[in-house]
Amino acid sequence: MPRLEPASSPATEIKIQPAPHSHLQARTGVCEACTVRGLTICSSLGPTDHDKLAGLVQHLHLEPHQAIFQEDEAADYVYTITSGCVAMSKSLADGRRQITGFMGPGDFLGLAVEEAHHYSAETLTPTRLCRYPRKRFRSVMQSVPALEQRMYALAADELALAQEQILLLGRKTALERLATFLLMMRRRAEQRGLPTNPLRLAMARNEVADYLGLTVETVSRGFSKLRAMGAITLDSAELVRLAKPALLEELSGA
């Protein structure tokens, strides 16, 4: 799996990395043109404070299925996603994988306080990221209360999501998990102003499976069953129409 090159550039300047596998880019004026600024941590900053962050930022563009960072690896950077879709995951020694969440435009990667990442992150689609050196980001955090507060809110929100996921994994059946998943994906698409009918799933069946604690086969059977029930139709494997949202709500367990 391809890894990122360590970056040696100071930031904010125009910079094209010559290294063959690097996808690092930095450009001036990028933040001003940012399409998801309202969703990101940047939206909680005034111009002066924003400059503090902008001074650290590096812009990355990654292909699908590239690792952003790995579990237990030193957390040198934290990230904001500006476009694309990312999966966070944890794995057991024998390779069983659990996806703990999907991230999209506006989301923040690397909340932990520790020196190492607690999970891996990899792209599912072509992805643009803003990357900040973690330690410097933390010192900006400590000097900017609005940012600290925003980060707290982010952590609390993500915690609430994780607890929903715990309920799903601990107590829901395969079909309930799938229904819950589809409704969640629709909500996310709505929040980002993306089309919801059909709804585009950025992830493959096996990634849905790893997220829902199931196998690919069970997920596929679930899609088929939902289709047989008339709850959904499939334009293609990744384009889903939620034909009966109310039925999905019922099926989702609560």
Partner DNA sequence: CGACCCCTTGAGGCTTCTCAAAATCCGTGG
Partner DNA sequence: CCACGGATTTTGAGAAGCCTCAAGGGGTCG
Residues of the shown chain interacting with DNA in the complex, contacts defined by CB under 7 A? 173-175, 204-206, 213-221, 223-224, 234, 236-238
Q: Which is nearer to DNA, 118 or 221 (CB)?
A: 221
Q: 187 and 247 in contact (C-beta within 8 Å)?
A: no
Q: Which is nearer to DNA, 151 or 240 (CB)?
A: 240
In terms of DSSP H, where are the helices of the chain?
Answer: 47-54, 134-143, 145-171, 174-191, 205-212, 216-228, 245-251
Least spacing, CB of residue 103 vs its own copies, in Å: 13
Least spacing, CB of residue 83 vs DNA, in Å: 19
DSSP code string of 22-80: --EEE-TTTGGG-TTGGGSGGGG--HHHHHHHHTT-EEEEE-TT-EEE-TTSB--EEEE
- Which partner in its own copies, DNA, none is near 93 (CB below 5 to 8 A by kind)? its own copies
- Which partner in DNA, its own copies, none is near 246 (CB below 5 to 8 A by kind)? none
State phi, psi for 198 to the nearest 5 degrees. Answer: -80, 160
- Which partner in its own copies, DNA, none is near 153 (CB below 5 to 8 A by kind)? its own copies
Q: Which is nearer to DNA, 182 or 219 (CB)?
A: 219
- Which partner in DNA, its own copies, none is near 206 (CB below 5 to 8 A by kind)? DNA
Contacts of 205 (CB under 8 A, 6+ apart): 216, 219, 220, 223, 237
Q: Which is nearer to DNA, 155 or 184 (CB)?
A: 184
Question: What is the spatial distance between Cα 11 and Cα 31, in angstroms, rounded to a whole number?
Answer: 13
The number of C-alpha atoms within 13 Å of 233 and in the hemisphere containing its C-beta is 4
- Which partner in DNA, its own copies, none is near 194 (CB below 5 to 8 A by kind)? none
- Which partner in its own copies, DNA, none is near 35 (CB below 5 to 8 A by kind)? none
- Which partner in DNA, its own copies, none is near 16 (CB below 5 to 8 A by kind)? none
Least spacing, CB of residue 34 vs its own copies, in Å: 24
For the beta sheet containing 67-69, the strands, ordered from the edge strand earlier in sequence to the opposite edge, are: 67-69, 120-123, 86-91, 97-103
Question: What is the spatial distance between Cα 89 and Cα 205, in angstroms, rounded to a whole number?
Answer: 15
Least spacing, CB of residue 202 vs its own copies, in Å: 20
The binding site for its own copies (CB under 8 A) comprises 88, 90-94, 96-98, 100, 111-114, 118-119, 142, 145, 148-149, 151-153, 155-160, 162-167, 169-172, 210, 212-213, 253-254
Q: Which is nearer to DNA, 97 or 136 (CB)?
A: 97
Exposure letters 20-44 (e unless 16+ CB within 10 A, then b): eeebbbbeeebbeebebbebbbbeb
Q: Which is nearer to DNA, 50 or 205 (CB)?
A: 205
Q: Collapsing DSSP states into helix, strand and coil, what is residue 116?
A: strand
